[in-house]
Structure 1
């Protein structure tokens, strides 16, 4: 079967596998939660999740929503910008981006919120996808409210500043601004790292254990001469370590 060509931004003909799967999972979870069995008490993110070892909540909260409006806005954003990002970085990395943004956004929210608060929604993950879009296509225009064209990088900066101001204002209200901000930052950072191999090489080299240069023959001879003249007890700890390293070489 031949895949239909991608025609224009947001066209269902260009829908990707990862976005389709996430849309289905989110909608299915919402319908189960609202119509069949309440999932929120078990799977929402509690600000004190570590006290009851609820690490799974950092993932499961992303598939629950408060109401139709909540899930509608998140899924519309995922529908329109998700396929472009998935095509840009690949499905495997797209899933990592999505869940990493949601997890880090939820983690940031939980650290800043009172212990009795709880959180649901895919907003942190979706903000990560938006941040990734801005990192991949900074000059692409997105239409706010369907009429106002704004470059992707500028839109993310404006939204990030708005979320930051709300985070600094405290945890009041029902919007998890810290999750939005954390997700967006995670999406931008992850996309820049994977799209710049030189950055990854620098990170790997900084984390890799540094190998010491080989011991020179003249240094070995000096230490051995000292030991022969004055005994092994005359060697300093550094000189003993040098002899051991030379033996391993």
Structure 2
């Protein structure tokens, strides 16, 4: 379920949303590293800054989902999405997957805005990715038989490790991680009421 055996071509065809999001991660990250003044200005206009959100720049609740601060940051989040995104994209369909991924990320950024100081700055896909974990947890908890046992054996410890590491790593947006997870669980609980979700 979480083991990737596809070729790159097959992966692109089977999981177009995951492929597109990862490509956006990498393109934006690489473009921000070019020594061009416009790139720096673009980055500064897209990153999440609470005081600017409060002044009406609401796009900053969305754009930070696709931005990353460093190479390790962008690679880790992109790798996590490649591992845990495809099963949900296949189960939900590409457009519903887009909606729930963005909804989790936006919910995490709204919580960051509400619960952190005005000059708090944030970026990264972690809130949305923790949201995917939350959706999986909702399906495991509330929809018996929807997920194979081997899927549960991966998701449960990974979610637990992710939450624990959130509190022990520096520079982590704890609010986004936890609120993304909660938002994902709530969205997952709603999803299984309106759509049959199975990973078999």
Q: Which TM bucket (shorter chain)?
A: 0.7 to 0.9
8 Å Cα contact 1:139/1:153 also seen in 2? no
**Higher RCO (C-alpha 8 Å, min separation 6):** 2
SS at match of 2:124: coil
Q: Distance in 2 between matches of 1:162 and 1:8?
A: 21
Distance 1:154 1:139, change over 3 A: farther
The count of corresponding residues between Structure 1 and Structure 2 is 179
Shift of 1:17: 0.9
Counterparts of residues 201-220 of structure 1 (less than 5 Å)? none
1:56 aligns with 2:67: no
1:93-151 Cα deviation digits (max 9, x unpaired): 10011111110001111212111120011111111122223334384347xxxxxxx44
* Unaligned residue ranges in structure 2 (runs of 5+): 140-146, 196-200
Residue in 1 aligned with 2:18? 19
TM-score, with structure 2 as normaliser: 0.78
Q: CA–CA distance in 1 between the matches of 2:129 and 2:113? A: 18
1:110 counterpart residue number: 113
Structure 1: gaps (5+ residues): 1-6, 143-149, 199-249
| Pairwise CA distance, 1:156 | 2.4
1: CA distance between counterparts of 2:148 and 2:60?
Answer: 33
User: Aligned to 1:195, which of 171, 192, 195?
Assistant: 192
1:41-190 aligned at under 5 Å gives the runs: 41-136=44-139, 137=147, 139-141=149-151, 150-157=153-160, 159-160=162-163, 163=166, 166=167, 173-190=170-187
CA contact (8 A) 2:2 2:84 kept: no
- The two structures, once aligned, show a CA RMSD in angstroms of 2.6
The answer on whether the counterparts of 1:138 and 1:153 sit within 8 Å (CA) in structure 2 is no
The CA distance in 2 between the partners of 1:12 and 1:153, in whole Å, is: 24
TM-score using structure 1 length: 0.64
Higher helix proportion, which one?
2
Partner deviation per Cα, 1:59-107 (whole Å, 9 max, x = no partner): 1111111100000100000001110111111111100111111100011
> Following TM superposition, by how much is the alpha carbon of 1:22 offset from its aligned partner in structure 2, in angstroms?
0.6
Q: Which has the larger radius of gyration?
A: 1
Q: 1:49 and 1:197, CA in 2 relative to 1: closer, same or farther beyond 3 A?
A: same
Question: Match for residue 236 of structure 1?
Answer: none
Shift in CA distance, 81/162, structure 1 to aligned 2, threshold 3 Å = same
